[in-house]
Amino acid sequence: MTAAVSEARAARTPAAGERPLVALVGRPNSGKSSLFNRLTGGSARVGNFPGITVDILTADVRLPGGAVATIADLPGLYSIGSVVDPATDEGVARRFLDSTGEGGRPRVVVQVLDATQLALGLRLTRELVQQGIAPLVVATQRDVLEGEGRGIDLGALERAIGLPVLLVSARDQAARGAVLDAIASRLDALAAAPAPPTAPPTAPPTAPPTAPPTAASWDPDEVARAAYVEAPRRDAAAERRRTFTARADALLLHPAIGPVLFLGLMALLFSAVFLVATPASEALDATLGRLGVVISGALGGGLLASFVVDGLLGGAGTVLTFMPQIVILTVAMELLEASGYLARGAFLVDRLLQLMGLSGRAFLPLLMGHACAVPAVHATRILRDPRERLTAILVVPLMACSARIPTYALLLTTFFADHGPLVQALLFVALYVAGIFSGLVASLVLRRTATRGRSLPMVLEMPAYRSPEPQLVVRQAAQVAWRFAREVGTVILAVSAVLWVLLTVPMPGAAPPEKPAAAAEARAAQTEATETGAAETEATETGAVEAQAPAPSPLESSIAGAVGRALEPVTAPLGFDWRINVGLIGSFGAREVMVGTMGVIFGIEDAEDEPAPLAEQIREARRPDGARAYTTRTGLALLAFFVLACQCMSTVAAIQRETKTWRWPAFVIAYTYAAAYVVALIVYQGSGLLGIP
């Protein structure tokens, strides 16, 4: 580039608000995201474009000559000629391309296509030209072509399609300079071209100064055949790659062996979340616990310390304990996607998931839902059909996540201890099966009601097996973790503060809470009286207990306690009293909090670590008339309720993050709680009719 050209470009450098916009478009697996990372150096952020609900990554880059342009990585799309739903990836990209930009800023469209599948990419090129968009074509996978002893006649290709074409490898650092220089040249041409008297309504100002093409009569297959060039000899490494791909697909896509291997790999991934993420989560939780002790000591205890430690820090801890799972999931997905195996796994399970109104790509999010619904909701981004993705998001909370395990263990220990370990194990398995079955039913219903509509066909390309680039995988995981902590964490902190108020602040007009020591003595005395009281003095003792009833506990006198008592008429048909209601309110912060909340109510310290005393207290709890407060029917109803109810504010926050609205999180809460109430009611009343105590 000459000094004169450089000076001319620098003189025309626009202000920050007028920075040129460069849109990267291309089919999935075309190398578009790899090129975006190469051009931007990993400095991507989520762009703020009005009316766009799908995340579009953007980054500012400095072009040759000093100008700064904004590069946007649009969603992958197969076609723009037949788009009818603006919510699809194709629809979002089409709306983005049709818009004139903010303030009429200059725009350049760069189409990225896979040079090893030239005909497929040229179909999209022809559609762009037919829409009045003249893109700069960048063909990737140059290294793969050269390794296979092939090449592209760029001159013949450019003459055939009438557009400039670059052939690069996104793995090569030199690709950055070549592409940015071509973008700068296109912007120079736009700046030098006279403004047309009128602009077509559907043609953004991306065409070169000459008359832009409005139609394309060339055939992509013929053009691709004309532009392939075979080298005199083939690379031995390329032949080995071809042989490896053929042999691997013969095994991995085998109708009998392939699904078993895929399920085994997914089980390994599922185990990795527990084996790797759990210790990291526990270490983070322990660190936050020590930090809470320091903060509490510095603030001198009291409500302020409780609010900061239990409310805000507890909410932040909820976010951070999910972070290892988010990172592991992102790394695993990037590795599977970049290696080319994820598309093959989706093909293997597609027919089975069609019964649920989903496709094979939904298998991974549903599987991850059994570890944690939060990363599973994020994993639904691999689904290109917006209705299918929304269905998966709405169904994921029904999967039996790991946070349900402490509550399941408490309830099984409490109500089924006399039935032996075999019955408890069978019930535990049944709970997982119930989650999967409820997800199946919910998916079928949703696809015919809330998410009904024409589904996009599942289009899969079997990409070549490739070695993922570690730096890109790590960079993607870091970006996802930061966005999750920043956006979901704010919602969780807000809900945590509200829950702290409900569980801590006394209800106006309530009796003052008793002191912890007095509470423990009163409960011990009441338990001893219950165990040793004689039948002839029962009425007298009951009257004495009522006359000398201890003051209410802090939870009982809190706002949550008052709400729990107010809900008793509604939950009584399920066998729930105010204590269970308060436990359900507290467990909305996180399902496993149910155990700790019930431990506080019954005065059991370390209930999460030692559930046996709590289980005994729950079994021995009595109503004012002396009858048992909780029975086996209560345990069955509570298990049924926990299988269906979305008792997790982190999941709600993740759904809001992914759908960009509070409508669908509210819908999830409404339909899961309604289903949980109805099923728990049927279980409690039906078991009574069957003679179950």
Alpha helices in 148-256 (DSSP H): 154-161, 174-192, 220-226, 236-252
Residue 682 φ then ψ, to 5°: -65, -40
Please compute the mean of the pLDDT values over residues 383-393 and round it to a whole number: 85
Q: How far is CA 692 from the centre of its chain?
A: 41
pLDDT of the residue at 11: 39
Q: What pLDDT is stored for residue 211 in this prediction? A: 40
- What's the pLDDT score for residue 678? 95
More confident residue, 287 or 459: 287
353: left (phi over 0), alpha (psi -120 to 50) or beta: alpha
Half-sphere exposure of 503 (CA within 13 A, CB side): 27
User: Quick check: 508 pLDDT over 80?
Assistant: no
Is residue 519 pLDDT above 60, yes or no?
A: no
pLDDT band at 684 (very low <50, low <70, confident <90, very high): very high
Provide the pLDDT for residue 15.
Answer: 44
Position 552 pLDDT exceeds 70: no
**Minimum mean pLDDT among 90-104, 355-369, 474-488, 674-688: which range?**
90-104
What DSSP letter does each residue of 331-345 carry, written as one string?
A: HHHHHHHHHTHHHHH
Between 514 and 374, the higher pLDDT residue:
374
Residues 570, 584: Cα–Cα separation, whole Å: 14
Per-residue pLDDT reduced to its tens digit, 292-312? 888 888 888 777 887 887 777
What would the two tokens of residue 464 be?
């070549």
Q: Which CATH number fits domain 3-234: 3.40.47.10, 3.20.20.80, 3.40.50.261, 3.40.50.300?
A: 3.40.50.300
Q: Which amino acid is at 90?
A: E
Closest CA to 126 of 150, 87, 162: 162
Cβ–Cβ under 8 Å, residues 681 and 634: no
How many Cβ atoms from other residues are within 10 Å of residue 5's Cβ? 14
**Non-local CB neighbours of 565 within 8 Å, separated by 6+ positions:** 578, 581
Residue 641 has pLDDT above 90, yes or no: yes
Residues 249, 343: contact at Cβ < 8 Å? no
- Nearest residue to 642 via CA among 686, 591, 597, 608: 591
State both tokens at 12. Answer: 């025309």
What pLDDT was estimated at residue 429? 80
pLDDT at 511: 58
CA angle centred on 101, ends 97 and 105, rounded to 5°: 125
> For all residues of the chain together, what is the average pLDDT?
75
Q: Of 1-10, 126-135, 649-658, where does mean pLDDT reach its minimum? A: 1-10
Whether 689 shows a pLDDT value over 80: the answer reads yes
- Provide the pLDDT for residue 379: 78
The one-letter amino acid at 342: L
Alpha-carbon torsion angle 402, 405, 407, 412, nearest 10: 160
Which pLDDT belongs to residue 538? 44
Instruction: Between 461 and 17, name the one with better pLDDT.
Output: 461
Considering only CA atoms, which of 317, 318, 325 is closest in space to residue 367? 325
DSSP string, 117-132: GHHHHHHHHHHHHHTT
Q: What token pair was written down for 480?
A: 């996802």
Tell whether the model's pLDDT for residue 535 goes beyond 80: no
- The more confidently predicted of residues 319 and 445 is 445
Highest mean pLDDT among 105-114, 299-308, 544-553: 105-114
Separation between Cα atoms, residue 388 and residue 443, nearest integer Å = 9
- The residues spanned by each domain of the chain are 3-234
Please list, in sequence order, all residues whose beta carbon lies within 8 angstroms of the beta carbon of residue 510, skipping any fewer than 6 positions away.
552, 557, 558, 561, 562
Output the CA–CA distances (angstroms, integers) from residue 155 to 167, 226, 477, in the order listed.
11, 11, 40
pLDDT at 287 over 60: yes
Q: What is the DSSP letter of 24?
A: E
**Distance in angstroms (rounded) separating the CA atoms of residues 38 and 607:** 52
Q: Determine which of 68-77, 186-195, 256-265 has the lowest per-residue pLDDT on average.
A: 186-195
C-alpha torsion 395→432→675→494, nearest 10: -60
Quick one: which of 362, 509, 382, 379 has its CA closest to 443?
362
Name the pTM for this structure.
Answer: 0.62
Q: For the residues 583-604, what does the mean pLDDT come to?
A: 70
Instruction: State the average pLDDT over residues 441-466.
Output: 78
In this prediction, residue 397 carries a pLDDT of 92
Residue 596 has a pLDDT of 63
